[in-house]
Structure 1
Amino acid sequence: WAGKMVKGHPAYSGTIMTATFQIVRDLGWDYLEKLSKQRVMQVQSSTDPPKKLALGERAIMADGNDYNVVMLKEAGQPVEPLYPSEGTPTISGPTAIFASAPHPNAARLFQAWLHTRETQQFFTDFTAQYSAHPQVTPKAGRRKLSDIKLMKEDAAGVEKMADEIKTRYARLFRV
């Protein structure tokens, strides 16, 4: 598959930085060293690898978001999301309210609405993203989150290793 893969660059994307940290922690730098020898196209965002698949510019994405691949598949594109048995990086999308929010009660109401079963189900159905809400179910034909072996998030670990990851990654991939 040399020259046929695409991957996001961790120096440009927090999502890719988090995924790269989890891969290094769980699989070691050897994985990325081997991958770097495959002439992998480098892109910036986690949304870019699925776009390169859709355009036919690459056949495999080594990382990126799965929800766009699911959407491409459902639109009839010849793609298939695969989840490694070693584990799939986990990237959560947290929400918060600023302590200095000008309308804190409105912000609390928005947060309450955002995390209802109905709203979370809507996002799951129409964006192919996963929800931690226990009553939300994936659309028919989509994989359940519980069926995917997930790598564990560690925001403090990412922060601690970010500079090392950027430097070593740039050296390995010559970018």
Structure 2
Amino acid sequence: MIDISRRGVLGGSAALAAATILPSRNAAAQDMPAHEQALYQAAQREGELTWYTGQLQAEPSEAVGRAFVARYPGVRCNVVRTTSQVAFQRLSQDARARVAQCDVFSSTDYSHFTFLKGEGRLMPYKPVNAAGMVKGARDAADPDGHFQITYLALYMLARRSDRVTEADAPKSWRELTDPKWRDKLAVGHPGFSGAIGNWAILMRQAYGVDYFKGLERNRPQIGRSAGDPVTTLNSGERLVGVCIPSAATLFSASRGNPLTLIYPSDGTLMVPSPSGAIVNAPKPNAAKLFMEFMTGPAYSRTIREYYAESLRPEVPPPEGSRPLDELNLITPTPRQIETEMTDVKELWRDTFGV
């Protein structure tokens, strides 16, 4: 926004340009509640924010960035999308180098946030919009307001429907150790994906370490992100995706790929995934505004287009997904994630050699 008082009297063409820019931003602000308007005015002076995220896949992450700019013109969102573990490593490298680049951090690994909170590296800011979120998101947020749930991710099985019939498909996580699935499975890696780490914790709890040995004998193709099996199944290299994200799978199927979700009889993994503003954020007001955006309805409308679960009661669930109250949902406790994540990563590397 042009500061006329500093620049003096503008020439005719510059004044016309300012008149074109200012009304559009004022019009955008008119649709905002008062708490967002105040942050928006402050964020415009900062001009941008940087978002490190491992939650959504690349395309929906970029869509979120565009939706934010559309709602708050003049505040650019720099989207840095990687896997959750890589995003956390990058944030840790910034801290070691004593540089501040990230304003808001999002991950599928809850333990990242308990650690960052304990280190005093998260801004104590509770968005006003968070009060209107669905109960599951509100209940899993930090009670002190250091982080909020911005993604209720579901992970399950999926099959190539043109090559694996419903009758032949695995019905549970346990069945994946059956030799019939040798060279047919694709999965992510807990060293990169927080969701895979959550799943590994629960599989060890339910079936012990021998489960991973049985899975290893079936030689699964191991990627990084939990979303990598979507690409692998689309290419036909493998037939069954393991701990595959519901949102990315449904989105791929909507584009004509022959993918079908399988809800395991021994539980669909739900991962409440947090976001938090960094305490030394270079653009603190823009960071707070982005947290308001992610907990508000405009964000849920955006991610719903990519088949992610809605976080707001006024925004319906994505097309093709089953209502959450119909599912057998399993989720590790925050304590399990905090204390067992490192162990299952080491177990995975020892078992699979990667």
What TM-score results when the alignment is normalised by the length of structure 1?
Answer: 0.85
Structure 2 gaps, min length 5: 1-180
Higher mean C-alpha displacement, 99-108 vs 145-154: 99-108
Q: Are 1:113 and 2:284 matched, yes or no?
A: no
Cα deviation, 1:107-143, whole Å, max 9, x if unaligned, reads 333222222223212211x221113323331233332
Q: Are 1:58 and 2:238 matched, yes or no?
A: yes
Shift of the 139–159 alpha-carbon distance from structure 1 to 2, 3 Å rule, reads: closer
Structure 1 residue 103 displacement after superposition = 4.2
Q: Are 1:173 and 2:352 matched, yes or no?
A: yes
Match for residue 144 of structure 1 among 323, 334, 337:
323
Aligned to 1:90: 270
Aligned to 1:68: 248
Shift of the 135–25 alpha-carbon distance from structure 1 to 2, 3 Å rule, reads: farther
Structure 1 residue 53 displacement after superposition = 0.3
Partners in 2 of 1:94 and 1:76 — Cα distance? 31
Partners in 2 of 1:84 and 1:168 — Cα distance? 23
What TM-score results when the alignment is normalised by the length of structure 2?
Answer: 0.45
The answer to whether the Cα contact below 8 Å between 1:19 and 1:90 also exists between their aligned partners in 2 is no
Shift of the 28–134 alpha-carbon distance from structure 1 to 2, 3 Å rule, reads: farther
Please give the secondary structure, in 2, of the residue aligned with 1:63: strand
Partners in 2 of 1:107 and 1:168 — Cα distance? 37
Q: Are 1:161 and 2:161 matched, yes or no?
A: no
Shift of the 66–174 alpha-carbon distance from structure 1 to 2, 3 Å rule, reads: same
Partners in 2 of 1:101 and 1:11 — Cα distance? 26
The residue type paired with residue 94 of structure 1 is P
Partners in 1 of 2:318 and 2:202 — Cα distance? 28
The answer to whether the Cα contact below 8 Å between 1:4 and 1:40 also exists between their aligned partners in 2 is yes
Cα deviation, 1:53-102, whole Å, max 9, x if unaligned, reads 01111000122322111111111111101121211222233121222334
Structure 1 residue 51 displacement after superposition = 0.7
The residue type paired with residue 202 of structure 2 is Q
Which 4+ stretches in 1 moved above 6 angstroms? none
The residue type paired with residue 56 of structure 1 is G
Partners in 1 of 2:341 and 2:209 — Cα distance? 14
Number of residue pairs matched?
Answer: 174
Superposed CA RMSD = 2.1
Aligned to 2:309: 130
Q: Look at both structures and tell me which one has the larger radius of gyration over its CA atoms.
A: 2
Partners in 2 of 1:10 and 1:103 — Cα distance? 31
Partners in 2 of 1:123 and 1:104 — Cα distance? 24
Shift of the 135–32 alpha-carbon distance from structure 1 to 2, 3 Å rule, reads: farther
The residue type paired with residue 45 of structure 1 is S
The answer to whether the Cα contact below 8 Å between 1:88 and 1:150 also exists between their aligned partners in 2 is yes
- Relative contact order, higher structure (CA 8 A, sep 6+): 1
Please give the secondary structure, in 2, of the residue aligned with 1:11: coil
Please identify which structure carries the higher strand content.
2
Aligned to 2:15: none
The answer to whether the Cα contact below 8 Å between 1:130 and 1:145 also exists between their aligned partners in 2 is no
Percent identity of equivalent pairs: 28
Shift of the 166–102 alpha-carbon distance from structure 1 to 2, 3 Å rule, reads: closer
The answer to whether the Cα contact below 8 Å between 2:250 and 2:320 also exists between their aligned partners in 1 is no
Structure 1 gaps, min length 5: none
Please give the secondary structure, in 1, of the residue aligned with 2:186: strand
Please give the secondary structure, in 1, of the residue aligned with 2:222: strand
Shift of the 135–33 alpha-carbon distance from structure 1 to 2, 3 Å rule, reads: farther
Q: Are 1:81 and 2:258 matched, yes or no?
A: no
Partners in 2 of 1:132 and 1:27 — Cα distance? 32
The residue type paired with residue 173 of structure 1 is F
